[in-house]
Amino acid sequence: MITRLRGAGIAIYMTPWPATFRWKLSLIGAIVVFSVQHPISGRHPVRTLWRIIGWQLRSRVQPLVVWPWIGGAQLVVSRGMSGATGNIYCGLHECPDMAFVLHLLRPGDLFVDVGANVGSYTVLASRVCGASSVSIEPGNEARQALSRNLR
């Protein structure tokens, strides 16, 4: 369908954007809104937007990106890892839960992460808090990502 807009003696012919482009645009909007309203990253919205842009550019060039995270820890992240990329955008994707882990665990504690996915909580517990960790992940792709993050 072509839409014709007229105004001030000018006619503009517009075609609607393809559905996939509209979907991607709405997803980007949702990411930006989530990130700038987040309790941590919302305090620095310009810096957050630069992190989002940096990740989006870098992830298209490199299939696996080693991203510096909290307390000297790193995450090995690829496109499609929504929880891990949320950590890139916001610092702590699931802020209340992750902050609880950071404040609760001490060196020598045992942390069991069942359904560890790519290991964000395990990295926090082991690398940042110094706790011993046991991670369980039944999915093959997530388990491979988990093992990359625990090396």
Q: What is the pLDDT of residues 57-74, one digit of tens each?
A: 999 999 999 999 999 999
What pLDDT, on the 0 to 100 scale, is given for residue 139? 92
Q: How confident is the model at residue 82 (pLDDT cuts 50, 70, 90)?
A: confident
Angle at CA 65, nearest 5°, toward 69 and 126? Answer: 40
Nearby residues of 92 by Cβ (< 8 Å), 6 or more positions away: 40, 70, 98, 99
What's the whole-model pTM score?
Answer: 0.80
Cα angle 63, 61, 123 (rounded to 5 degrees) comes to: 45
81 touches 145 (CB < 8 A): yes
Q: Is the pLDDT of residue 135 over 90?
A: yes
Q: Which residues pair with 3 in a beta bridge?
A: 14
| Residue 1 pLDDT greater than 50, yes or no | no
Q: Scanning the structure block, which residue is given the tokens 């517990």?
A: 125
The predicted-structure confidence for 101-131, as pLDDT tens digits, reads as follows 999 999 999 999 999 999 999 999 999 999 9
